A = this chain, B = another copy of it.
Amino acid sequence: MLVQKYVDMLEKKNIIRILSEFATNRGNEIGYDNVFDFSLGNPSVPAPQAFTDTCIAMLREKNPMELHGYSPTLGIPYVRQKVAAYLNQKFGMNYTQDHIFMTSGAAGALAHAFRLICNEGDEVLTFAPFFPEYHPYVDLSGAILKIVPPNTEDFQINFEAFTDMLNEKTKAILINSPNNPSGVVYSAKTLEKLADILKEKSKHYGHEIYLVSDEPYREIAFEGVQVPYPSRFYEDTISCYSFSKSLSLPGERMGYVAVNPACRDSKTMIQMCGQISRGIGHNCPASMFQLAVAEHLEDTADISVYERNMNLLYRELTALGFTCLKPGGTFYIFPKALEEDANVFCQKALKYDLILVPGDSFGCPGYFRMAYCIDTNKVERSLPALRRFVESEYPR
């Protein structure tokens, strides 16, 4: 008598979780320090001390009734205003607080975005390789997630496959740049071309095709890489942000939706997010953390460690003969496996205590993901294991 769709979800295996549990169990045997666990995308650097200091100061000095009081459903006006001003200054936008809705991280932002624009049966297109959690966010809004096959050349967009899949049911395009799992940053050229197609097709089908932009890694960009802001390229854009990665606060669930002011009914869309939030009983993210992140919009945790780790891995992987794009950001790298079935490849790696995630669940078979948000020391110690694995299993 329980609702079947949630029972069904329980039965689906999550490969990342399975591998992560394997790593934990193996850690109990040989010490977790000796397991080269590249399975999970959890930030591995602490929140900035200044952020902690802000929280402590607020707890000490602020009236607890204000600090812990009800936030309006849309978020605290002061916070929304600061977010708008920050985005305007950083990306040359013209948001006001009326275009910002505070959420439970990017996950909450995405779930609101799809409920806002998708009716039952509408289609959402995303590009492989993609973050598998997009499935619950889209599926449970009643829409259907369709995966555009990857452009394995550079992990930009496979425009040919994309234009073939666009149809009158397409309501939204979901992008994620810098990308989990490839680490690739969409170029301005990619975003321009995407915008051109969407403008034309919106006109052709007589309804908006929204661009939903998932941006939790926006700040994690490596040397010389600029991350173009998708909303600058296309008016009907809903940007979904999270402070989980930039400030290393994943458990506090803080993020926002920013609707491009040029979007028709942009302010109504934000108001509607408030109604969606009422319906799911969420109401708002934690008020104290809303107030705290507002004081640290320009800050990040010490994310330089991710670039250090990336360089170590990239150098070793290419030296070992892997086909591998150099990530422009995030804390992921997505090389091609050394045999066709990446599941078999990753299975073999386990013997060397290397926990790698096959690309199948990211919509990209034959590749594998390494999440290098771990201690640099462990990355260094993993390199000989990686070499042993490759030389033993795949001798040239």
Residues 38-68 of chain A, each 1 if its beta carbon lies under 8 Å from chain B, else 0: 0000111011000010011001100111011
Q: Indicate the size class of the contact surface on chain A.
A: 35 or more
In the bound assembly, the distance between CA atoms of A118 and B59 in angstroms comes to 40
The answer to whether B68 and A251 touch across the interface, beta carbons within 8 angstroms, is yes
Which residues on B sit within 8 Å (CB–CB) of A251? 67-71, 284, 286-288
The answer to whether B282 and A2 touch across the interface, beta carbons within 8 angstroms, is no
Is A343 an interface residue when CB atoms closer than 8 A count as contact?
Answer: no
Residues 7-32 of chain A, each 1 if its beta carbon lies under 8 Å from chain B, else 0: 10110000000000000000000000
On whether A46 and B64 interact (CB within 8 A), knowing A251-B71, A281-B107, A288-B252, the answer reads: yes
> Of the candidates B47, B68, B108, B278, which one forms a contact with A249 in the assembled complex, judged by CB atoms under 8 Å apart?
B68
A90-106 with Cβ < 8 A to chain B: 103-106
A202-242 with Cβ < 8 A to chain B: 207-208
In the complex, how many angstroms separate the beta carbon of A250 from the nearest chain B beta carbon?
Answer: 5
In the complex, how many angstroms separate the beta carbon of A75 from the nearest chain B beta carbon?
Answer: 11
Is A248 an interface residue when CB atoms closer than 8 A count as contact?
Answer: yes
The answer to whether A6 and B281 touch across the interface, beta carbons within 8 angstroms, is no
Which residue of the partner chain B has the closest CB to A250? Answer: B70
In the complex, how many angstroms separate the beta carbon of A58 from the nearest chain B beta carbon?
Answer: 10
Which residues on B sit within 8 Å (CB–CB) of A60? 52, 56
On whether A269 and B64 interact (CB within 8 A), knowing A109-B281, A279-B136, A286-B251, the answer reads: no
The answer to whether B140 and A284 touch across the interface, beta carbons within 8 angstroms, is no
In the bound assembly, the distance between CA atoms of A256 and B286 in angstroms comes to 15
The answer to whether B282 and A104 touch across the interface, beta carbons within 8 angstroms, is yes
In the bound assembly, the distance between CA atoms of A316 and B65 in angstroms comes to 28
The answer to whether B283 and A107 touch across the interface, beta carbons within 8 angstroms, is yes
Chain A interface mostly helix, strand, loop or mixed? helix
The answer to whether B59 and A52 touch across the interface, beta carbons within 8 angstroms, is yes
The answer to whether A69 and B250 touch across the interface, beta carbons within 8 angstroms, is yes
Which residues on B sit within 8 Å (CB–CB) of A278? 9, 107, 133, 136-137, 140
In the complex, how many angstroms separate the beta carbon of A244 from the nearest chain B beta carbon?
Answer: 8
In the bound assembly, the distance between CA atoms of A202 and B6 in angstroms comes to 23
Is A169 an interface residue when CB atoms closer than 8 A count as contact?
Answer: no
Is A154 an interface residue when CB atoms closer than 8 A count as contact?
Answer: no
A116-161 with Cβ < 8 A to chain B: 116-119, 133, 136-137, 139-141
The interface centre, meaning the residue of A110, A136, A137 with most chain B CB atoms within 10 A of its CB, is A136
The answer to whether A6 and B280 touch across the interface, beta carbons within 8 angstroms, is no
User: Which 7 residue pairs of A and B lie closest in terms of their CB atoms, listed nearest first?
Assistant: A251-B287, A111-B281, A140-B279, A107-B281, A286-B286, A46-B64, A108-B281
5 further A-B contacts with Cβ under 8 Å, apart from A6-B272, A104-B282, A106-B281, are A2-B268, A3-B117, A3-B118, A137-B281, A253-B285
9 A-B pairs with C-beta separation under 8 A: A10-B275, A47-B68, A65-B248, A68-B251, A69-B251, A107-B283, A110-B281, A139-B279, A252-B288
